[in-house]
Amino acid sequence: MKNEEMNILIEKFYIFDEKKLSAKQKEIAIRYVFGQTAEELATYYNNSPRSIWLHLDVVRHEFGNVSLSSLRTIIFMKMICKLANFENE
């Protein structure tokens, strides 16, 4: 996913509403939703997989301490809903 596309998802779709997350945490969450593994993300960000899991853990807690599979579903469904509303405007 290109940085431009990532910025649109983060800034214009308001997927994360008022969540207290860093830009990196938001980006990691979106990339995770689209199927990248912690190992792939670690390579992309030049971090350890453990660091990626810690970022995902922060995101998970911001969404109400949900499981990682639930987090994927929640963020994906928010993107679908926002996209449907965005196209209808």
pLDDT above 70 (res 89): no
Provide the 8-state DSSP code for 65. S
Q: Write down the pLDDT at residue 82.
A: 79
Please state, in angstroms and rounded to a whole number, the distance separating the CA atoms of residues 64 and 67: 9
Model pTM? 0.81
Nearest Cα to 50, choosing from 62, 35, 38, 32? 38
Nearest Cα to 1, choosing from 25, 24, 35? 35
Span 31-87, pLDDT tens digits:
999 899 999 999 999 999 999 999 999 999 999 999 999 999 998 898 888 778 766
35, 62 in Cβ contact below 8 A?
A: no
Average pLDDT score over residue span 13-35:
87
Nearest Cα to 37, choosing from 17, 65, 12, 56? 56
